[in-house]
């Protein structure tokens, strides 16, 4: 059930340059949210923007949603400027969720930028000791310090300035020389997702990707967030996704 709830900002930390980790208390939505779901926030009026903004959820803590938000425009600036105890309108849970991965099977989570959020969530739920989380950014300033990360999370930067050197797909490819997961889940920029599609098909590993597209309604009514399907036609990222089998969509 989709719920509209006034959220209270519990915490807001800048974990890397312009990258915020926010906890927003919404008891009803928190009770229902699943890994892969997203919520849409109504940016504060000061933003001067019109539509809501979709964000995937990194976890739930004490009836609060954990969100990873990069301050990249008027709307995200207004949201990431909110302080403790300030409120914001939240709509959720929206979209589909990741499938239930068998607990005894290894899962690799490949994320870029704020796309890491939903991977943290599915990673914490799955919890196999062989799971790996790989979080990539262009350079060290885009990513937090390793101490702030969940166990099993490795960082990667294109220039090697923090964590492994290379983009997420390149690093995963290196890992595949000596290890292999049963499943892959990925979220991030299109280039990363395309790389994961290729990797998954090459190694024949079932993979799910969480997609992003500009959204208007976020609930499946307007068909504005269309993504092309390999089988022809389009799916709505907000209602048929955001999680798709990697081979299902055309990026």
**Binder to other proteins among 58, 79, 90, 91 (CB under 8 A)?**
91
Binding residue (CB under 8 A) for other proteins from 3, 17, 125, 176: 3
Taking the complex as a whole, the smallest distance from the CB of residue 194 to other proteins amounts, in Å, to: 16
Closest CA relative to residue 56, chosen from 187, 251, 193:
187
State whether residue 165 is helix, strand or coil: strand
Q: State the nearest-atom distance from the C-beta of 20 to other proteins, in Å.
A: 21
Among positions 130, 216, 245, 247, the unique one binding other proteins when judged by CB under 8 A: 216
Q: Find where tokens 């292999």 sit.
A: 180
Q: What value does the CA radius of gyration of the chain take, rounded to a whole number of Å? A: 17
- Min. distance of Cβ 240 from other proteins in angstroms? 12
- Contact pick of 1, 45, 147, 177 for other proteins (by CB under 8 A): 1
Total residues binding other proteins (CB under 8 A): 32
Q: Per-residue x/- mask for other proteins, residues 20 to 59, rule CB under 8 A?
A: ----------------------x-----xxxxx-------
Surface-to-core class of residue 124, CB atoms within 10 Å of its CB (0-12 exposed, 13-18 middle, 19+ buried): middle
Which residue from 72, 228, 230, 231 is in contact with other proteins, where contact means CB under 8 A?
228
Rounded Cα gap, residues 226 and 26, in angstroms: 29
Residue 219 binds other proteins, judged by CB under 8 A: yes
Question: For residues 183-212, which are near other proteins according to CB under 8 A?
Answer: none
Tokens encoding 65: 């949603």
**Is omega for the bond preceding 242 within 30 degrees of 0, making it cis?**
yes
Give the number of residues written for the chain: 251
| Residue from 130, 152, 166, 220 in contact with other proteins (CB under 8 A) | 220
Specify the residue, 144 or 218, whose C-beta has the smaller distance to other proteins. 218
Q: Which of residues 52-81 bind other proteins (CB under 8 A)?
A: 52
The DSSP output letter for 150 is P
| C-alpha angle 42-144-126 in degrees, rounded to nearest 5 | 75
**Alpha carbon of residue 46 to chain centroid:** 26
Of 150-158, 173-181, 202-210, 233-241: span binding other proteins (CB under 8 A): 233-241
66 within 8 A of 29, measured Cβ to Cβ: no
Contact positions vs other proteins (CB under 8 A)? 1-4, 42, 48-52, 89, 91, 213-228, 232-234, 239
């Amino acid at each position: 059930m989709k719920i509209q709830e006034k959220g209270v900002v519990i915490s807001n930390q800048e974990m890397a340059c312009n990258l915020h980790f926010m906890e927003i208390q919404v008891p009803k939505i928190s009770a229902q949210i699943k890994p892969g779901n997203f919520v849409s926030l109504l940016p504060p009026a000061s933003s001067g923007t019109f539509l809501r903004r979709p964000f995937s959820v990194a976890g739930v803590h004490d009836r609060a949603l954990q969100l990873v938000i990069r301050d990249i425009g008027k709307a995200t600036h207004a949201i990431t400027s909110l302080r403790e105890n300030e409120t914001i309108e939240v709509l959720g849970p929206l979209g589909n969720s990741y499938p239930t991965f068998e607990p005894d099977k290894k899962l690799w989570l490949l994320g870029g930028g704020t796309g890491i959020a939903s991977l943290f969530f599915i990673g914490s739920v799955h919890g196999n000791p062989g799971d790996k989380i790989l979080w990539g950014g262009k350079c060290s300033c885009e990513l937090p310090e390793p101490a702030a990360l969940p166990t099993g999370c490795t960082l990667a930067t294109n220039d090697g300035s923090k964590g492994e050197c290379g983009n997420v797909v390149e690093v995963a490819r290196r890992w595949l020389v000596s290890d292999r997961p049963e499943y892959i889940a990925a979220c991030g920029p299109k280039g990363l997702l395309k790389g994961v599609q290729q990797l998954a098909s090459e190694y024949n590993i079932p993979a799910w990707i969480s997609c992003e597209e500009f959204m208007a309604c976020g609930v499946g009514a307007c068909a504005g967030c269309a993504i092309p399907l390999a089988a022809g036609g389009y799916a709505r990222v907000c209602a048929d996704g955001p999680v798709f089998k990697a081979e299902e969509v055309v990026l």
